[in-house]
Structure 1
Amino acid sequence: MARKFTLDFLKTEAASGSALALAAIAAVIVANSPWSADYFAWLKSEHVLQLGPIRLEETISDWIKEGLMAIFFLVVGLEIKYEIVRGELSDPRKLTTPVLAALGGMAGPAAVYLLLSGTMGAPHAGWPIPLATDIAFALAIFGFVGKGLPSSLRVFLLTLAIVDDLGAIALIAVLFSEGANWTPLFWALGLIVVGGLAARLVRVPTPFWVIGFAAVWYLTVLSGLSTSLTAVAFAMIVPIKARKEDRQSPLKEAIHDLHPWNAYLVLPLFAFAKAGVSFAGLTMEQAFAPLVIAIALGLFFGKQIGVFGAAWLASALKIGARPTDASWLQVYGVSLLCGVGFTMSLFIGVLAFPGAVDSPEQIEVKLGVIGGSILSAVAAAIVLGFAGPGKARSAHGVVGGE
């Protein structure tokens, strides 16, 4: 049952990659069309949400970043909880290789970026940007080129991406929490604790979960922190155990209901808002600016070196093994695929360099993320296509396998 749920999740994520890609392409086209000024003006335009005494005024860009993206992180949190309790992350034997690979996949890009920062003068603040992997794009590309490859590679990629998401969320918490208003945050955490206790004692109807999440989100916005943090925390209190009345799991129901909206509305809209980069007046100096190069090479070289190196080291030290029936060339192809950092990298880029969506830093962040992600995607498609569906000898104690 857990395997079927995970495979259903993979199929939905893979399918959503096409919508994400189309939204990103549309953003680039619009940003370089006669509607370019209207596009950027729309992103900067401020809109008010008022419900009685509750009033919030944000730009469209911020509504998408802190509003809609909270749903993305809620779904990520729900999936993380499911995998920890029932899925791949529930078996410690299956954790070692993808966890170490994910850690290597964060250390590698950081090392490459900081090395280039020291030699080329890229802004030091940008080092967290290439650390993230975009699960939707990565799985979509794997779905296109991975036919016939061992299914354990998909699970390995998903597990790695989940741990990677946890690392990215932890970085957001540590690095981008300055100037916070702690009083609303404590109230938000209090609501999460009360909700968690209530969920253990009684059946909490769906409307109360919706109202509770909205309240936690509002308090987090008032605190000045990224809503990604409390969205994941809120996901942890959603019950996974099936109800006696209808034998349905509230957590699985929430993922089932929210995932299509997340995949086909939230992420494409975020891509449309954040991927739009205007090439008008773009000089070769800006196109190959230190920030652009450091992000692109961090994603392309740092990810593959970190992920593959850590996976190979885990196997060599006998503390883990490669995915079932997969060759090292296929694992290397997946390592390249982890360099597709689109959504999360752009999100961290907005936090690392706050300002206008068309500011010089944001343009360079977009160029670096898009460039590094395209390089990684093309290289991964070539390697995985060449690796083919051939099976490798299974290792004893395989991690991330069937």
Structure 2
Amino acid sequence: MAAPPGTTPRKFLGLMSLPERNFVADALRTETVGGVLLLIAAVAALIWANALPHSYETVSHYHFGPAALGLDLSVEHWAADGLLAIFFFVAGIELKRELVAGDLRDPKAAVLPVAAAVCGMAVPAVVYVLTNVSGGGSLEGWAVPTATDIAFALAVLAVIGTSLPSALRAFLLTLAVVDDLFAILIIAVFFTSSINLAALGGSLLGLGLFWLLLRKEVRGWYVYVPLALVIWALMYNSGIHATIAGVAMGLMLRCHQREGEEHSPGEHIEHLVRPVSAGLAVPLFALFSAGVVVSGGAIHDVFTRPETLGVVLGLVVGKAVGIFGGTWLTARFTRASLSDDLEWADVVAVSTLAGIGFTVSLLIGELAYEGNAILTEETKAAVLIGSFIAAVLATALLKIRNSKYRSLCEAEERDDDLDGIPDIYEKDKPAYHLRMAAIYERKAAEHRRLGEVAGGASEGDDGPA
């Protein structure tokens, strides 16, 4: 579909603004470190569960907490319901920031990641349903393959050493934020069986007080942390998954800067909490959720049972087809064109990488098959295997273009005038060209001087000879 005469097709996945690029770089740096820890925790869980299965089960199912408050939970449940609330709190802040200051603020820019995320969740669900309808399986786990784990995906990038351009990384990050939003809605709508109205009402009152304190600009962690714990506990007892409380509180934070502010309150709190989420909460969740016994028979069951096969196909095939298809169709019908530096094969590779569904997929698997221990364990194995296959395929696709990615990243980072701002952001400014001309002139003069010195030395050496 051609653009109307006299108009320039809108580019996507092109150069980002410098402030947005810096923010994305900081966020991805923390997520990458957290992803490596997540990967280590997952491997540790597999080794522990297979080497010492009795020990793993004993620790995972050990209960503690105030029973009178309905919080006598196992270690596994504390990790899933408690620690993941921190993860979703950060996700709520990310979503709020994207809505007020990021790509989702502009409807024209937002349509691409939103459409890609929606298709990237819908197609895996369809793949799962078709696999189970044709194989006579259960449809309860349709939502398991719908989620992308950005931290795990970035950990894979860190391990294989692929330097994706900032635009592709930002696309992956924004995609994951929208993905998290829909995952939250799925958990809230489809995995809430019964509701305790009194506890829910108390949680909503707590959220109202939380919002009011923020509006009054009351400061002090000693005010908000105890209140947040009360809100979380009430939400847990209401029957709605407790992580929803974390999202709600994250969405309430102000994420736009006022005059004189270097960072908004939301950005400041995210900077403080993200390391706790990525470095502690999510890895501990992985440690007590990814421990499945792996054997030849278990792997055979994953590929022969429709429920688990649907999860694997949903992650590997559904995610790649959905995200790429949603991106391509949106670009075509909005008259947008791909950045000149990238190819559609790059979008295919990133779409395949998004098939790594770990944290939220494991959580949804536990919720979908609650009470069915065998199917829960097999679903966890399916998530691990599907994510591994997606990671291997994405690695192969990304390695093909790795030299191109390195050259693009070097161009983005180049700062010949050493002013702290990449040259690519200054190439259209006259002052930049004057500075670069002066730098090149100094270098040329230095080369001439060295040449004259070398020439004089040669003449002096030749004379006596």
How far apart are the structure 2 equivalents of 1:7 and 1:101? Answer: 22
1:32 aligned counterpart, secondary structure: helix
> TM-score, normalised to structure 2's length?
0.78
The worse-fitting range, judged by mean Cα deviation, of 188-197 and 296-305 is 188-197
Q: Is the 8 A contact 1:146 1:384 kept in 2?
A: no
Residue 188 of structure 1: how far off its partner (Å): 1.2
Q: Return 5+ residue gaps in structure 1 as ranges.
A: 392-401
Partner of 1:78: 93
Q: Is the 8 A contact 1:108 1:302 kept in 2?
A: yes
Partner of 1:47: 64
**1:313 correspondence with 2:350:** no
Residue 321 of structure 1: how far off its partner (Å): 4.3
Deviations 1:209-266 (A, max 9, x none): 2122111101111112111212111111123355889755321221111111111111
Q: Is the 8 A contact 1:147 1:389 kept in 2?
A: no
User: Which of 376, 386, 389 is the matching residue for 2:390?
Assistant: 376
Which residue identity does 1:367 align to in structure 2?
Answer: A
Partner of 1:4: 22
Q: Is the 8 A contact 2:162 2:399 kept in 1?
A: no
Alignment of 1:323-338 (within 5 A): 325-338=341-354
Q: Is the 8 A contact 2:324 2:348 kept in 1?
A: yes
Partner of 1:25: 43
User: Larger relative contact order (C-alpha < 8 A, sep ≥ 6)?
Assistant: 1
Partner of 2:374: 360
Q: Percent identity?
A: 38
Q: Is the 8 A contact 1:122 1:294 kept in 2?
A: no
Deviations 1:106-134 (A, max 9, x none): 11101110110111123110100000000
**1:215 correspondence with 2:206:** no
Q: Return 5+ residue gaps in structure 2 as ranges.
A: 1-18, 406-424, 426-465
Deviations 1:296-318 (A, max 9, x none): 01100000110001111111212
Q: Is the 8 A contact 2:145 2:383 kept in 1?
A: yes
2:65 aligned counterpart, secondary structure: strand
Q: Is the 8 A contact 1:150 1:326 kept in 2?
A: no
How far apart are the structure 1 equivalents of 2:80 and 2:294? Answer: 23
Alpha-carbon RMSD across the aligned residues, in angstroms, is: 2.2
Residue 83 of structure 1: how far off its partner (Å): 1.6
Equivalent pairs counted in the alignment come to: 387
Which residue identity does 1:72 align to in structure 2?
Answer: F
The worse-fitting range, judged by mean Cα deviation, of 336-345 and 240-249 is 240-249
The worse-fitting range, judged by mean Cα deviation, of 207-216 and 242-251 is 242-251
**1:38 correspondence with 2:55:** yes
**1:224 correspondence with 2:224:** no
Which residue identity does 1:342 align to in structure 2?
Answer: F
Partner of 2:439: none
Residue 280 of structure 1: how far off its partner (Å): 5.8
Partner of 1:398: none
> TM-score, normalised to structure 1's length?
0.90
Partner of 2:109: 94
Q: Is the 8 A contact 1:97 1:321 kept in 2?
A: no
Q: Is the 8 A contact 2:308 2:378 kept in 1?
A: yes
User: Structure 1 residues 293 and 213 mapped into 2: Cα distance closer, same or farther (>3 Å)?
Assistant: same
User: Which of 70, 90, 104 is the matching residue for 2:119?
Assistant: 104
Which residue identity does 1:370 align to in structure 2?
Answer: L
Q: Is the 8 A contact 1:148 1:389 kept in 2?
A: no
Which residue identity does 1:25 align to in structure 2?
Answer: V
Which residue identity does 2:347 align to in structure 1?
Answer: V
How far apart are the structure 2 equivalents of 1:238 and 1:284? Answer: 44
Q: Is the 8 A contact 1:311 1:321 kept in 2?
A: no
Partner of 1:162: 177
User: Structure 1 residues 181 and 320 mapped into 2: Cα distance closer, same or farther (>3 Å)?
Assistant: farther
Bigger radius of gyration? 2
How far apart are the structure 1 equivalents of 2:388 and 2:38? Answer: 14
